[in-house]
Amino acid sequence: AQTVTQSQPEMSVQEAETVTLSCTYDTSESDYYLFWYKQPPSRQMILVIRQEAYKQQNATENRFSVNFQKAAKSFSLKISDSQLGDAAMYFCAYRSYNTGTASKLTFGTGTRLQVTL
Amino acid sequence: EAGVTQFPSHSVIEKGQTVTLRCDPISGHDNLYWYRRVMGKEIKFLLHFVKESKQDESGMPNNRFLAERTGGTYSTLKVQPAELEDSGVYFCASSQASDRRNTIYFGEGSWLTVV
C-alpha cells in the first residue's frame, strides 16, 4: 500500500517570500501521479499542481512549482512570491497510474500555511 | 458551472443518532467519491461510484456507513448509529469518465461532530 507523509504540520511565510512544503511517499509502483491540493478556510479543495511520475521535468503552474525526486520519493511544493490568498491547508496526494486503482487518492496529513504581512 | 456541492456544511448530532450527508457532483460526472478526514489525520478514501454502481468501497470503515447513488446523480452517505469516532470532515468529489487525466473536483466538505 502507498503512504504519503507531510512532516510539517504548520508553516509560515511572509508575503512576497518563497516557501517550500515537503512531501515524501512510499510506493512500489513505477507509474503514478502526484498532486498538491489546497483548501482555503471554508472553501473547496482545489488542485494546485500535478506531476506524472514518468515525466522528468518538474511541473510548474505560475507561482507554484514542484521538486520531484523520484529516486528519493520526494515531492515538494515551492510557492514563490507568496500572497495572502495562498494561506490554506495544503495536501500532498498520490494516485496509481493503473486504471484499476485510478480512482483512489492517498493523502498526507496536510500542512497549514500561514502568510503574514 | 456549479461545482461539487455538499449538504449540510456542518452537523452536530448525539452519539447513537443518524445523519445523512448529501453530495451533488458536477453535472455529467459519472465518477463520485467520498473521502473522510478525522481531525489531525490524513484524508482517507471511503468509496467510489461509477454512475449508480459502487466501483470500490474498500475504505468504508464498517457497516454503520451506507452510501447510495440512486439514478447515478446525487449521492448520500448515511451514518447509523453515529459514534464519537465518526466525527470529522466528509469530502465528496467527482470526475468525468471521459477525462483522460481524471481530474478530481472536491466539494467544501461536510463537518460532522458527534457528541
Distance CA B45, CA B25 (A): 17
A104 contacts B48? CB cut-off 8 A: yes
Q: Which residue of A has its CA nearest to B54?
A: A103
The closest of A114, A24, A35, A106 to A71, measured between CA atoms, is A24
pLDDT of residue A92: 97
Distance CA A24, CA A7 (A): 8
pLDDT of residue A101: 47
Residue B25 C-alpha cell reads as 457532483
B101 contacts A44? CB cut-off 8 A: no
Given A37, A42, A107, which is nearest B108 (Cβ)? A42
B3 contacts A109? CB cut-off 8 A: no
pLDDT of residue B102: 73
Distance CA A107, CA A34 (A): 10
B106 contacts A44? CB cut-off 8 A: yes
Contacts of B3 in chain A (CB under 8 A): 44
- For chain A, what is the mean pLDDT? 92
Residue A50 C-alpha cell reads as 500535478
A:B CB pairs within 8 Å:
49
Task: Work out the percent of chain A whose per-residue pLDDT is above 70.
Answer: 95
Residue B30 C-alpha cell reads as 459519472
Q: Which residue of B has its CA nearest to A40?
A: B108
- CB distance from B111 to chain A under 8 Å? no
pLDDT of residue A103: 67
Full pLDDT tens readout for chain B, 115 residues = 679 999 999 999 999 999 999 999 999 999 999 999 998 888 999 999 999 999 999 999 999 999 999 888 999 999 999 999 999 999 999 998 777 677 889 999 999 999 9
Q: Which residues in chain A show pLDDT less than 70?
A: 98-103
B92: three-class secondary structure by DSSP: strand
- For A15, residues 6+ apart whose C-beta sits below 8 A from its C-beta are A82, A83, A84, A115, A116, A117
B109 contacts A91? CB cut-off 8 A: no
Give B3-35 pLDDT, tens digit per residue.
999 999 999 999 999 999 999 999 999 999 999
B31 contacts A107? CB cut-off 8 A: no
